[in-house]
Amino acid sequence: MTKKSIGYMLIPFLTLLLTSCGDNSVSVVAQLMIEKEGSPRVIAHRGANEWYNESTITAYQIAAESGVDSLEIDLRMTRDGELIAMHDETIDRTTNGKGRVSDYTLKEIKTFRTLESNHSKVVTEEIPTLKEIIETFRDSQSYYIETRLVNGELAMEEKLIQLLEKYQLLEKNLVTIQSFSEESLLKIKELAPHTELALLFRKGSFSLEKASKVDFPIIGIESTDVTQKIVNELHKKGKEVHVYFIDRQTQKEEQERVMEYQVDGYFTDYIHFTKEILAI
């Protein structure tokens, strides 16, 4: 359970206590409790992808320099079992290559380059491994890592935990692990019981009943599925609500909308904008 979620769990108790005492400032006290626990998390979605090739060392460096709370890293596994930073199942969209990540060895993956147009100049950078990202930042950053099944099977969890333990990131509480796969999160919990875990729900598939019952302290929801009722109910259960956005054209508007609901985290593609609206 997160520190902020403990704060939310105390709010109903404070409300009852102050009401019985005739205090009319319950909402103010509740708000102060939330604020004391800290501002919402600003999570750099695939690094500072607004300015540089997503999921690259440079993108993560720019995000770190921008003062985000966590670096979000999507994991894929190569044919020879190495963990790399890549959102898609294939390398087609973001690199000069084609094909599924799982069909390539790491050596083969390293022959491709990420692509982006930056001021009419083609910028290229290799696809990084998770190890290379961690060795760049060590314990100077927090990491928000997404796991997934590999060809429908649990495959990356043990390797991931071994790597995080090697760099002592778990014992320093610098890692949150998220997944759409409940099976993957349960495996992580078995391997590293005290790791902060977040269950993701795909757009249109959110279930408040399930989110309320699962034993994970953070719930990740696509922005258009977020309502005030959902946030309130999950806060009552001691859970944080972290919001992701799949439409960049409406993302800023959606960030401002969900901000009114006091969500706890933003997977942002617009770091400066998010920090500006949150006044942090």
pLDDT tens for 151-170 read 999 999 999 999 999 999 99
> Taking 60 as the threshold, does the pLDDT of residue 15 lie above it?
no
Q: What percent of the chain has pLDDT over 70?
A: 85
Would the pLDDT of 27 be above 50?
A: no
Q: What is the gyration radius of the CA atoms in the chain, in angstroms? A: 20
Q: What is the pLDDT of residues 65-82, one digit of tens each?
A: 999 999 999 999 999 999
Residue 123 β-bridge partners = 116
- Taking the model in full, what pTM does it have? 0.87
On the question of pLDDT at 34 being above 50, the answer is no
Looking at the predicted structure, is the pLDDT value of residue 33 above 50? no
Q: Work out the pLDDT band at 2, boundaries 50, 70, 90.
A: low
Q: Which whole-number Å values give the CA distances from 63 to 164, 268, 269, in the listed order?
A: 21, 11, 10
Q: How far are the Cα atoms of 90, 111, 160, 184 from residue 190, in angstroms, in the given order?
A: 29, 36, 13, 10
Q: Which of 225, 145, 139, 214 is nearest to 183 (CA)?
A: 214
pLDDT band at 1, cuts 50/70/90?
A: low
Q: What is the widest separation between alpha-carbon atoms in the chain?
A: 69
Split at pLDDT 50, 70, 90, the class of 124 is confident
Query: Among 45, 194, 235, 242, which one carries the catalytic annotation?
Result: 45
Percent of the chain whose predicted confidence (pLDDT) is above 90: 82
**Per-residue pLDDT, 35:** 45
Arithmetic mean of pLDDT over the chain: 90
Query: Is 87 annotated as catalytic?
Result: yes
For residue 63, count other CB atoms closer than 10 A to its CB. 27
The pLDDT confidence band at residue 116, using thresholds 50, 70 and 90, is confident
Of the candidates 87, 119, 242, 272, the residue annotated as catalytic is: 87
User: Is 235 in the active site?
Assistant: no
pLDDT in tens, 203-237: 999 999 999 999 999 999 999 999 999 999 999 99
Quickly count: other Cβ atoms within 10 Å of residue 173's Cβ.
11
How many angstroms from the chain centroid is the CA of residue 273? 18
- Region 179-184 average pLDDT: 98
The CA-atom distances, in angstroms, between 92 and each of 98, 100, 104, 114, 210 are 4, 8, 13, 10, 35
Amino acid at 20: S
Residue 125, judged by CB atoms within 10 A of its CB (0-12, 13-18, 19+), counts as middle
DSSP string, 84-119: EE-SSSBSTTTBS--SBGGGS-HHHHTT-EEEEEET
